C-alpha cells in the first residue's frame, strides 16, 4: 500500500490497473479524459497487461467492451455526458446480455447549452438502462469502487454491468491523498473473471438472441431480480474489502448524525462532505440535522433510506438534476420509496449545481432554514426565486 496525491480520475485509473481488465475500449471526453490517458500509459509501460482499443466513438467503445465480455474476459470503458448518451443504445444491450462490464462516468452537464462542467443529468437519465449505478464522494472511494464494482458486477448471482459515477471536475480533477493498495492485496480481493456467459466453441450456445412476447418478460424479470440480488452482494464485497484493506463502506447509503435528527438532507456525490460540515455547524446552534448520502441509485436503497429518515420532521433532497416538467429524478425515487414505507414527513426538492454552478455554504444553510420553517416549495431551484427568469 502506498499513499499518493491523486485526482479522482487518476485514482480511478489506479483502481482499474489493480482490477486487471483484459480489454479497455474508450473514447476520450472531458472530464473523463485523464482516466483513458493514464490507462493507455499503463498499457504502454507494461504495468497493465491489457488490450487498449482506441475506438472512434462511445457507441463503439461499449460495443467493443461487450464483444470482449462475450469472449469471456474482463472489460472496462469510461465516458461522460454526451458520450454516455451516444452509447445509450448499447447500455441496454450490455445489461440485457448480462455482461458485467464496468464503466466510469464523469458526471457532466448535457447540451444544449453546451457545457463541460459537472452535474448529474447524464447518468440519472440512464437509471432505467439496467446498470448498477454508484456515486463516489472522494478519490479514495473512487479507487475502491473501481475494485468493488468488478466483484459485484461479476458475482454469479448478479451478472450485471456497473457504472461508477464521479462528479466532473469537483472529483475528477481534484487532488487529494489516496491509499493505493498493493497488487497482491487486490488479487486477494478480486478473483479472476470466470463465466459461462461467453462464446465457447467447445460448448456453443445462443447469445444476444431475440425473445418474443411469450418469453421476453421473463428475461426482464430476471434482470430486475439480479439487480436486487446485488444488495447483499454489495454488503459481502464491502465486508471482504474491509478485511483486506481496512476501509469500511456502508452499503447503499451513508448516514451522518441521522439517529436523532429532526431535519435530514439527502444527496449524492461529492457535495456530501460540505453538507456534513454545515450539519455540524447547525448542530452547534442546537438544530438537530443529519445528512444521508445515497451511494447507489440502482439498486435503490428503499429499505435503508426509510430506516434512516423515519424519525425526521422534514426532509430535503439536494440534487444536480431536473426532469423537465416534473421534478428532480432523485426526488421522485425518494418520494416513491418513502410513500411505500408510510413516511409522511414533508420532502422538498432542491435543484442545484446544474452546469457546474457552485453550491455554497450559504445555499446549504438556506435549505435547512427553509425546510425547518416550512417555507420551501415542493421543487426549488437554488439561486432562482419562483417566477424569475421564465
Q: Decide whether 299 or 356 has the Cβ nearer to other proteins.
A: 356
Give the closest residue to 90 by CA, choosing from 196, 164, 163.
163
3-state secondary structure of 4: strand
Candidates 54, 156, 361, 378; binder of other proteins (CB under 8 A) is 361
Candidates 110, 174, 195, 323; binder of other proteins (CB under 8 A) is 174
Q: Decide whether 48 or 116 has the Cβ nearer to other proteins.
A: 116
Q: Decide whether 246 or 346 has the Cβ nearer to other proteins.
A: 246
Q: How many residues does the chain have?
A: 390
What mask, x for binding other proteins by CB under 8 A, covers residues 236 to 255?
--------------------
Query: Considering CB under 8 A, how many residues would be counted as binding other proteins?
Result: 28
Q: Decide whether 11 or 231 has the Cβ nearer to other proteins.
A: 11
Q: Please, are residues 370 and 348 in contact by the beta-carbon 8 Å criterion?
A: yes
Candidates 276, 295, 298, 320; binder of other proteins (CB under 8 A) is 276
Least distance between other proteins and beta carbon 166 (Å):
12
Report the phi/psi class of residue 356: left, alpha or beta, with left for phi > 0 and alpha for psi in -120 to 50.
left
Q: CB count, 10 Å around CB of 384?
A: 11
Q: Decide whether 257 or 313 has the Cβ nearer to other proteins.
A: 257
3-state secondary structure of 220: helix
Which triple of cell numbers denotes residue 291?
Answer: 445528512
303 sits near other proteins (criterion: CB under 8 A): no
Which residues make beta-bridge pairs with 314?
263
120 sits near other proteins (criterion: CB under 8 A): no
Q: How far is CA 87 from the centre of its chain?
A: 17
133 sits near other proteins (criterion: CB under 8 A): no
Distance CA 34, CA 48 (A): 16
Q: Decide whether 14 or 154 has the Cβ nearer to other proteins.
A: 14
Subset of residues 34 to 93 that bind other proteins, contact rule: CB under 8 A: none
Q: Please, are residues 15 and 162 in contact by the beta-carbon 8 Å criterion?
A: no
Question: Interacting stretch for other proteins, rule CB under 8 A, among 174-182, 205-213, 245-253, 323-331?
Answer: 174-182
Taking the C-alpha atoms of 169, 174, 178 and 181 in order, what is their torsion angle to the nearest 10 degrees? 40
Q: Decide whether 62 or 272 has the Cβ nearer to other proteins.
A: 272
177 sits near other proteins (criterion: CB under 8 A): yes
Q: Decide whether 13 or 227 has the Cβ nearer to other proteins.
A: 13
Least distance between other proteins and beta carbon 332 (Å):
26
Distance CA 333, CA 301 (A): 10
Q: Please, are residues 266 and 276 in contact by the beta-carbon 8 Å criterion?
A: no
Question: Interacting stretch for other proteins, rule CB under 8 A, among 19-27, 128-136, 214-222, 272-280?
Answer: 272-280
Q: Decide whether 116 or 124 has the Cβ nearer to other proteins.
A: 116
Distance CA 276, CA 368 (A): 12
Q: Rounded to 5 degrees, what angle do the CA atoms 250, 256, 258 make? A: 110
What mask, x for binding other proteins by CB under 8 A, covers residues 280 to 299?
--------------------
160 sits near other proteins (criterion: CB under 8 A): no
What mask, x for binding other proteins by CB under 8 A, covers residues 8 to 37?
-----------------------x------
Candidates 51, 176, 223, 369; binder of other proteins (CB under 8 A) is 176
169 sits near other proteins (criterion: CB under 8 A): yes
Distance CA 2, CA 213 (A): 54
**DSSP per residue over 271-337, as a string?**
GHHHHHHHHHHHHHTT--EEEEEESEEES--HHHHHHHHTT-SEEEEEES---TTS--HHHHHHHHH
Candidates 225, 277, 340, 378; binder of other proteins (CB under 8 A) is 277
Q: Please, are residues 203 and 151 in contact by the beta-carbon 8 Å criterion?
A: no
Which triple of cell numbers denotes residue 14?
Answer: 489506479
Instruction: Report the interface residues with other proteins, using CB under 8 A.
Output: 3-5, 31, 116-118, 138, 169-171, 173-177, 270-274, 276-277, 356, 358-361
Amino acid at each position: 500500500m502506498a499513499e499518493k496525491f491523486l485526482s479522482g480520475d487518476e485514482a480511478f485509473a489506479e483502481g482499474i490497473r489493480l482490477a486487471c481488465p483484459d480489454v479497455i475500449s474508450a473514447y476520450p471526453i472531458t472530464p473523463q479524459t485523464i482516466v483513458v490517458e493514464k490507462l493507455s500509459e499503463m498499457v504502454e509501460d507494461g504495468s497493465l497487461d491489457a488490450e487498449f482499443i482506441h475506438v472512434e466513438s462511445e457507441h463503439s467503445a461499449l460495443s467493443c467492451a461487450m464483444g470482449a465480455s462475450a469472449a469471456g474476459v474482463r472489460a472496462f470503458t469510461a465516458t461522460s455526458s454526451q458520450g454516455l448518451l451516444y452509447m445509450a443504445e448499447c447500455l441496454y444491450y450490455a445489461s440485457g446480455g448480462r455482461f458485467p462490464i464496468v464503466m466510469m462516468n464523469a458526471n457532466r452537464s448535457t447540451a444544449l447549452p453546451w457545457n463541460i462542467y459537472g452535474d448529474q443529468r447524464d447518468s440519472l437519465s440512464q437509471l432505467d438502462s439496467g446498470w448498477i449505478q454508484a456515486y463516489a464522494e472522494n478519490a479514495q472511494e473512487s479507487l475502491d469502487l473501481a475494485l468493488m464494482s468488478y466483484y459485484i458486477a461479476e458475482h454469479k448471482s448478479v451478472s450485471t454491468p456497473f457504472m461508477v459515477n464521479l462528479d466532473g471536475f469537483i472529483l475528477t480533477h481534484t487532488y487529494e491523498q489516496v491509499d493505493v493498495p498493493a497488487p497482491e492485496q487486490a488479487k486477494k480481493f478480486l478473483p479472476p473473471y470466470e463465466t459461462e456467459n461467453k462464446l465457447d466453441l467447445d460448448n456453443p450456445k445462443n447469445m444476444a438472441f431475440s425473445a418474443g412476447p411469450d418469453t421476453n418478460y421473463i428475461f426482464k424479470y430476471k434482470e430486475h431480480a439480479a439487480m436486487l440480488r446485488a444488495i447483499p452482494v454489495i454488503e459481502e464485497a464491502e465486508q471482504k474489502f474491509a478485511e483486506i484493506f481496512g476501509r469500511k463502506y456502508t452499503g447503499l447509503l451513508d448516514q451522518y448524525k441521522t439517529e436523532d435528527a429532526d431535519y435530514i438532507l439527502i444527496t449524492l456525490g461529492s457535495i456530501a462532505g460540505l453538507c456534513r460540515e454545515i450539519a455540524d455547524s447547525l448542530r452547534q446552534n442546537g438544530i438537530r440535522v443529519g445528512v444521508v448520502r445515497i451511494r447507489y441509485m440502482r439498486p435503490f436503497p428503499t429499505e435503508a433510506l426509510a430506516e434512516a429518515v423515519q424519525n425526521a420532521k422534514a426532509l430535503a433532497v439536494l440534487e444536480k438534476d431536473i426532469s423537465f416538467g416534473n421534478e428532480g429524478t432523485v426526488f421522485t425515487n425518494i418520494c416513491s420509496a418513502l410513500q411505500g414505507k408510510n413516511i409522511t414527513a414533508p420532502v422538498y426538492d432542491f435543484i442545484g449545481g446544474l452546469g457546474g454552478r457552485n453550491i455554497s455554504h450559504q445555499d446549504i444553510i438556506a435549505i435547512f432554514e427553509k425546510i425547518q420553517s416550512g417555507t420551501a416549495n415542493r421543487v426549488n431551484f437554488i439561486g432562482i426565486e419562483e417566477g424569475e427568469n421564465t
